[in-house]
Amino acid sequence: MISACYPGSFDPPTLGHLDIISRAQGLYQRLVVAIGHNPNKIGGLSVDKRLQLLRELCAPWPHVEVCSYEGATVHFAAKLGVQALIRGLRSYADFNHERGMAEINRRHGFETLFLIAESTHTNLSSSLVRQVQAAGLGLEGLVPPAVAAALAQQAPGQEP
């Protein structure tokens, strides 16, 4: 079975992430969306909440799995038995960063497939979503409604 892994923090999941998942799932028989968890990094949504949200958002695609992991992505990918890693690119800056990571991935036996972001998502990032939410602005067009609702339910003063 030809399979791939789309790793990321997805904190929070954005419409850009969903676009990449939607397109990548059409290319592979199995796609694993993997939430990287760094216990030293303080995030917005908990890993459990991101797992729940992404599982709900990916439900229309039966061959998409959602899980979390700690440690090096290439080690996790090896455990999964995938052949490729998926990365979304929004800009040349993304490409320059991701190109270096792709070299590391290749040294460990994994190809990296780059998918170019839709033009409507080229400026969209999880960091931007957190900034917009912190400013009290609407999240329409940035995240799915379920993610906006989860962010709105966070305690006041809690980081988005």
pTM of the model: 0.92
- Domain 3-152: top CATH class: alpha beta
- The pLDDT of 125-130, averaged and rounded, is 90
Domain assignments of the chain as residue spans, ordered by start: 3-152
pLDDT tens-digit profile of 78-127? 999 999 999 999 988 889 999 999 999 999 999 999 999 998 888 889 88
Strand, coil or helix: 4: strand
β-bridge pairing 84-89 and 111-116: parallel
CA distance 157 to 160: 9
Structure tokens at 63: 């061959």
User: Residue 126's closest CA among 151, 101, 102?
Assistant: 151
Report the pLDDT value the prediction gives residue 31, as an integer from 0 to 100.
Answer: 99
